[in-house]
Structure 1
Amino acid sequence: MKDLTIFNYQNTPVRTVLIDGEPWFVLADLARVLGIKDVQRLNSRLDDGVRQTHPIQDRLGRTQNVTIVSEAGMYEVVIRSDKPEAAAFRRWITSEVLPEIRKTGSYGAAPALTEDEIVHRALQITVAKVQELETVNRALAPKARAWDDIVSSEGSWSYRDVAHTLHQHKRIVIGEKRLVQALVTWGYLFRDHKGRPHAYQKYLEQGLFVEKIRTYQDQITGERRESSAPQVRITGKGIDMIYRRLAGELEVAS
């Protein structure tokens, strides 16, 4: 694979390959640098025109087919990253990688892109995605109505159910244990000497949580007995609060 070139960004290899004189980037390498974990999902969201599979040899000489993206596809991947590092990575690509490729003479004599040209290309890609997003929004409309029904409901949910609901309706990935720990950290819950979570009284009064008495069957007498620790469940109002807190933290982190 004589057209394969490996660049290193902060000790992370980024493989590129020339196809018909045009540079293509290994998608997995871009995703690794930009902190995008779900490469398969990212791949599915890219247009066919900016991605393809290509055989590349690893260090052991084995050939494997990997997904590569064109220069335009690379810009789209950068746009999709929420990592602050994305801007610095983009500048590295345009100021070091592309000029080096062009310097070899294999990539023509096209000048390096200016910042304005980069923004223009990114906007072109973004505009092309607007219709796709509008289609997605129409598909998500029933989910939005379902979410409104949940947060306005008078019911209550377990921690696990809330974690699942956040993932299903808001694409926020958080497990049951992390959710409980977040509520403890935020000061809505506290743990007793056995580590069991309890809601503070003021938040019960605010309607964010409810406590339900749990019962169990005595294995000796067969009688139904009440547990000494009530079960904390989250109301629709509480789910909305959790979503807003998590969404706010994600926005700050980005």
Structure 2
Amino acid sequence: RVVTQNNEPWWVLSDVCSVLEIRNAPDAAKRLDTDEKSTIVITDSGNLNAERTIINESGLWSLVLTSRKAEAKRFKKWLTSEVIPSIRKHGGDMATHQEDTPETLMARALQLADKTIKDRDAQLKDVLPKASAFDELANTDGLFTLRDSAKLCGWPEKLFIQKLVQSPIKWLYVHSSSGRKLAYAKPIKDGYMDVKQVTVFHKTTGRETYGQPMITQKGLTKLSAKIGVFAPRKEIAA
């Protein structure tokens, strides 16, 4: 099931959890940021005016891309290799059948998003390379440097770091004397970043240890949803 609020599609969390075979929907909701979830009253058969948790597109991808379960990986592959290309090729509404599965319901939800959101086709094209890159990332433990994170998100390193320093993200700040990029406490507490102790040697100052900001898998998923794919401005010929 899907609802549209301010021309944005929101999926019923219990339906998404059914597709991903996540047994505890409330726990899944706790893993999402406040801007990725909301509640709505839905009239269900036999359960009138039931309050349901709904999630937006960022929340949907957060659950899919951060899940290590085989079911989630299969769903991610099905979503990016079959559903989205089918929507792009055939378009139109899907007929409703009594035997509809959660997967077909999700497919129609994506169709609705394709119709109601401006430039949806361009955004869906961005989703495919992101999902492909995260296929490998989902099986990898550890932290990622700012340079590697920029590559994974498809951004030039300098502009990527600027995004992390500036509003609305503001995960990093520049030390006033050393000029080093350092992580704020909040993204570390939220699990988006961590700090790795690095020791360097200088001819004049000798040995120096400092905290190098690193980005977690959860942080990469969040950034991918927030900043999208880098799109440089085209120069206008004189």
Using the size of structure 1 for normalisation, the TM-score is 0.39
Using the size of structure 2 for normalisation, the TM-score is 0.41
Give the number of the structure with larger relative contact order, counting CA–CA contacts within 8 Å between residues 6 or more apart.
Answer: 2
Structure number with larger C-alpha Rg: 1
